[in-house]
Homo-oligomer: A and B are copies of this chain.
């Protein structure tokens, strides 16, 4: 999807029975060329696989990057993505026996987005559940010791951060246990460089056809989930107000450019009709100004439309979170 492609890929030893792709409705800004996330068309992919009669729904995704932890302008977009991811998993996994999610979620384990995702879907974190672990300390996947990472960004985190996950749950009559979790460390075998800027994560899961599914509905107790949804809603609200401000300022800019053009048109018509007293404007600067106004008008209109869509999506998500909250509170 997108211009470049979402970068999602699944290789499977077992035949892939069915697939579905859901592109997130918000994913950064096209004019943030240096960040480029928008051009990827970030999505969640689903492949359905059957192994020994057990139906696996395997999800793979990559959420919007966090370029600054202190001033994270993309937090509302990433939260919308986390919510859409959780909803997509919930709605498409009802006939699955086992749900797996792998991906670069671009969220630290304690971040609100991952708590929302885990709480709303009941997915469990393979790292915290693993019986054995082997790899980077604390399961970090973005580490300063990797030659491709930007060291200055990781200064507050000397061990690195854990932002790549394998999450799982059993849906019906099955239990899943993570026997082993591994991350890559250091360079690729026989090479001077590592495989990627992130360490890879590998999980060995033990799936048993018996017992009640653990955490079949919600992953967190309901009062805790109320807090998580409230926190997410607040952050989405912050993003909504920022988007509304940008919609307003781009709209104002478009109106100003249009007014300038109208004034120029009136001036030009006046000159042509011989109504203007004194000498006319110099032709060159007059034309340059008109071209500039047309350029600003087109650009500001395009941005205004983009931010209108952003506002609609943030409003929709805030509304959905509000309804989820009401349902949770009624249940309590």
Contacts and interface: CB of A to CB of B under 8 A. Distances in A.
Interface of A: 1-3, 5, 17-23, 25, 39, 41, 46, 87-88, 90-92, 94-95, 283-284, 287-288, 291, 294-295, 305, 308-309, 312-313, 316, 320, 323, 327
A2 B309 contact: yes
Contacts of A87: 20
Nearest to A88: B20
A26 to B, nearest CB: 11
A249 B229 CA distance: 48
Most central of A39, A291, A294 by chain B CB within 10 Å: A291
A47 to B, nearest CB: 11
A312 B1 contact: yes
Contacts of A46: 91
Contacts of A284: 283-284, 287
Total identical chains:
2
Given A23-B25, A284-B284, A288-B291, A1 B313 contact: yes
Given A284-B287, A287-B288, A288-B291, A309 B88 contact: no
Contacts of A305: 3, 39
B309 A91 contact: no
A20 B91 CA distance: 8
Nearest to A22: B22
A94 to B, nearest CB: 3
Nearest to A41: B309
Nearest to A286: B284
Nearest to A96: B94
A329 to B, nearest CB: 15
B91 A18 contact: yes
Contacts of A18: 90-91
Contacts of A323: 19
A46 B288 CA distance: 51
A317 to B, nearest CB: 10
Contacts of A283: 284
Nearest to A295: B295
Contacts of A3: 305, 308-309, 312
A95 B327 CA distance: 20
A141 to B, nearest CB: 28
Nearest to A327: B17
Nearest to A283: B284
B1 A309 contact: yes
